[in-house]
Amino acid sequence: MIKKTLISMALAAAAAGAVQAQVFYDSEISYLRTDTTTDFGGAVPTSVNGGVRISELRVEPSTGGGFDPNGANSAGINLTGDNFDSVFTFRFFDADGTFSFTENFDDKARVDVTPISGPLGSPTGAAGPTHTDTSWNTRTQADYAFGAGGWFAAEVHLYEDGGGAGAASGLGFGYFNDASTNNAVYAGIGYGAQFDTDPATGKSWGTVPDGGSSAALLGMALLSLAGVAKRFRKS
C-alpha cells in the first residue's frame, strides 16, 4: 500500500511539473547564440540549453553595436567575433494569417513560420515556405499567407560569417501584420511591431522557452516515472 501511494504521488508530482513547465511569457523573445561554421546551424533556444528571454529584437546598423545598445535586448546578446548563429523564437497571433518580415542582416538570415494551436500549442499544419537570404547587404521581404488566422511560431536565424554584425543598413529585422514591400511599415519585434490580439486568450505575442506541448512534456514525465515505479515494485 505504501509503495502504491508513493508511486501515485511521484506520478502526480511529475504530471503537475510537466504541465507547469510550459509558460507563455507575454511580449518576450527567446534568444541563443551558437558558435558554428554552418550556416543556420545554431541551436534553438530553450531554458535547458541556456537560452535567455529578451524584450526586443531591434537590429540596427553595425555602428550602433548591431542590436540596439541601449534597449532591453542588449542584455545577454553577443555580436562579437565571427562564425556564429543568433537564433530567436517567438509566438504570435495573426487574425487573417497574412503577414510579412523584412531583413537586411549582415551576413545571412532565415525565417521559419509554423501554424500552432495556441500560445502554448503544438504545430497544427505544415510550416510556410522558409525564407532564406544568404547575400550580404541585400534587403529582402517575406510574405506569408496561410489562408486562415491563428497562432504561429517563428524561428529566426541571423548568421554571421565574418566582419561586423548587425543591420547592413536601416532596420535589420522587422515585422508587419500584412503583406508588404514598403519598408516604412515594418518595425522591430517588441519595438513598434503591431500584432493582432487573440479574442479567446487576450494574448498577442510572446515566447515559450521550454518548447514542446504540455501533452508531450507530460508523456515524457510519465515514461521516466515508469522506470521509477518498476523499481518500487521490485523493492
Taking the whole predicted model, whether its pTM rises above 0.75 is answered as: yes
Return the closest-CA partner of residue 155 out of 206, 112, 208: 112
> Please, are residues 186 and 175 in contact by the beta-carbon 8 Å criterion?
yes
**Which residues on neighbouring strands pair with residue 140, listed in sequence order?**
103
Q: What band does 105 get if pLDDT is binned at 50, 70 and 90?
A: confident
Over range 142-160, report the average pLDDT: 95
Q: What band does 134 get if pLDDT is binned at 50, 70 and 90?
A: very high
> Please, are residues 176 and 99 in contact by the beta-carbon 8 Å criterion?
yes
pLDDT at position 3 over 90: no
Over range 99-114, report the average pLDDT: 93
89-103 pLDDT, tens digit per residue, is 999 999 999 999 999
CATH of 24-210 given 2.120.10, 1.20.120, 3.40.190, 2.60.120: 2.60.120
- Cα separation, 202 vs 180, in Å, equals 26
SS3 53: strand
